[in-house]
Amino acid sequence: MAKAKDTKTPKAPKAPKAARAPKASKPPKDKDIAIRVVIEGRVQGVGFRWWISEWANGRGLEGWVRNRREGTVEALFYGPESVVRHMVEFCAEGPPNARVRNVKEYNDESPDDPGFIERPTV
């Protein structure tokens, strides 16, 4: 009886360490910032405060939102910078029945209360 030849395929050599892909690192954590916005246009009576509260709570932001007597909506967003910036951009779109004319943006301090709340009109 004839013996079968060993037909193992030789392993490919490992790439030198310099040629290997680097290990993926976690992106740096955003610093927390506080931005207050004043939203102008047709922004009251269209669910803007509720809409902001839902989006802010869904993204883990802290702060508040309220109507102002002169017809604007004011909000304070506090949290990771990228999330806060996205929320400010989102305010420029507004809910479906709103017509945003302008969003004024101001640096601010973190809110006194945890979570995101709707405040009374001022």
The residues spanned by each domain of the chain are 32-116
Asked if 49 is an active-site residue, the reply is: yes
Assigned CATH topology for domain 32-116:
Alpha-Beta Plaits (3.30.70)
Q: Smallest Cα–Cα separation from 42: which of 65, 75, 67?
A: 67
Helix, coil or strand: residue 45? coil
Task: Report the share of the chain in percent with pLDDT over 90.
Answer: 74
Instruction: Choose, from 20, 42, 49, 66, the residue flagged as catalytic.
Output: 49
Which secondary-structure segment (H or E) carries 52? Answer: helix 48-58
Low-confidence residues in the chain, pLDDT < 50: none
User: In whole numbers, what is the pLDDT of the chain averaged over residues?
Assistant: 86
Q: What is the DSSP string of 80-101?
A: EHHHHHHHHHHHHH-STT-EEE
β-pairing verdict for 73-80 and 32-42: antiparallel
Q: Helix 81-93 to helix 48-58 angle, to the nearest 10 degrees? A: 160
Instruction: Choose, from 20, 42, 66, 67, the residue flagged as catalytic.
Output: 67
- State pTM to two decimals: 0.76
Asked if 67 is an active-site residue, the reply is: yes
